[in-house]
Amino acid sequence: MTLAQTDWFTAARFGLFVHFGLYSVAARHEWVMTREQIPLNEYERYAQVFDPDRFDARAIARAARSAGMGYAVLTTKHHDGFALWNSGVSDYTSMQACGRDLVAEFAEACRAEGLRVGFYHSVIDWHHPDFTIDCHHPRREDGDLTELNSGRDMARYREYLHAQVRELLTGYGPVDYLFYDFTYPDGMNGLPGKGAQDWDAEALLALTRELQPGIIVNDRLGIGGDLVTPEQYQPDGPMTSGGVPVLWEACQTMNGSWGYDRDNLEFKSADLLVRMLVDSVAKGGNLLLNVGPDGRGALTPQDSATLAEIGTWMDLHAQSVIGAGPSEVPPPPGTALTRRDDRLYLHLLTWAFGHVHLPGLAGKVRFARFLHDGSEVARTEFDPGQQAWNTTPGGQPPGTLTLQLPTIRPDVLHPVIEIILDGEN
């Protein structure tokens, strides 16, 4: 993968993750099958009543675009094995359950809204009879593992896995991003995990790139990938490998659950989510923000409202994150800094007491203004060669640019000051 092939991803900075499947009907987290160790025949009843009559892919894609996102990723199949497309190698699919190919609807909707198309695909499958029982499998406590796995054959499962990936990458036009999930170590009580050899990860990755040469692939097959995907946490700083910056994307939820979880009301505020987006961009990464449509396939009122609130902020401030990246200028306390060409964007995460000081920027700035309304922010610049009143103890050193803030904080999720650099700075 060349840098040019990942340019769109770096520029986009913000994407939508969509977790939808049979677990949405259960409404108790996407891992409900294994958390509650639900037997297969009992879990399959969700397929018999699966009716996503309110799944509107165009509305979801439109909500993503309105929120300022540049790409969207749909769970084509999660760990429970239920496929959201018309698979030729399985009848455990949305087509069999409700007569709809939701992957096709999603891909078409994304392209219609100008979004890059991403697919999530789990290499785990708790439904498939050849997938061996391990530390995460719902049947892990049913008895002796050797006996339980008698007759199961991971070689046959690998053929099935690769066949389904081939379907996804040949039947739905250009696919820009494939999010595989996931490789895991041995678990508690000595129960086995699964690794790259279980998926034949090398062959699977080669197949992926053969079928979609320009695709970006994440790092969860156990053999690396084009980007790193920290989940449910924000990195402390820019992510690197051997001191070299790497492509990365923080994967975050609205409320700690990926799939629809009816009783989980611990939602993050739009303000916090915007801060997480800005934090990611300031550290050179992306943010993939998840929604979990309900059992009928609709975006929940909370998710819709949050996306709309983020969209209101992005409508005025998109250039501070989309196409932007880290700045070499150290951010003052309570702020984050992003940069786009000759523009620095000072994100005021807390409202300062009248002034914000930027050491070393005196004489290097042509103009400063609030991004939401374009109004000028007054500034004072101290010549690095002069001794000034603010060099006294407790003041600022020469060469400091001081921005003078109004008393009243602007009424936006968080204010941003656009600083236009002068000349070659």
pLDDT one-digit tens code per residue, 181-237? 999 999 988 999 999 999 999 999 999 999 999 999 999 999 999 999 999 999 999
| Cα dist from 12 to 66, 115, 303, whole Å | 13, 10, 21
What does the CA dihedral 406, 358, 351, 333 come to, rounded to 10 degrees? -170
Indicate the pLDDT class of residue 381, thresholds 50, 70 and 90.
confident
Report d(CA 344, CA 53) in Å as an integer.
46
Domains 4-320 and 327-421 share a fold: no
Tokens 């997480």 — which residue?
276
Question: Strand runs (DSSP E) across 173-230, as ranges?
Answer: 177-181, 216-217
Superfamily of domain 4-320: Glycosidases (3.20.20.80)
Residue 343, classed as helix, strand or coil, is strand
Side-chain-facing half-sphere of 407: CA atoms under 13 Å: 0
Report d(CA 16, CA 271) in Å as an integer.
17
327-421 folds as Immunoglobulin-like (2.60.40)
Polymer length in residues for the chain: 425
Residue spans per domain, the chain: 4-320, 327-421
Helix H or strand E segment including 145: helix 145-148
Give yes or no for residue 393 having a pLDDT over 80: no
Report d(CA 215, CA 120) in Å as an integer.
13
Note the maximum CA span of the chain: 82
Are 101 and 85 contacting, i.e. CB atoms less than 8 angstroms apart?
yes
Q: CB atoms < 10 A from the CB of 54, how many?
A: 13
Are 105 and 84 contacting, i.e. CB atoms less than 8 angstroms apart?
no
pLDDT one-digit tens code per residue, 232-251? 999 999 999 999 999 999 99
Give yes or no for residue 394 having a pLDDT over 50: no
Are 308 and 274 contacting, i.e. CB atoms less than 8 angstroms apart?
no
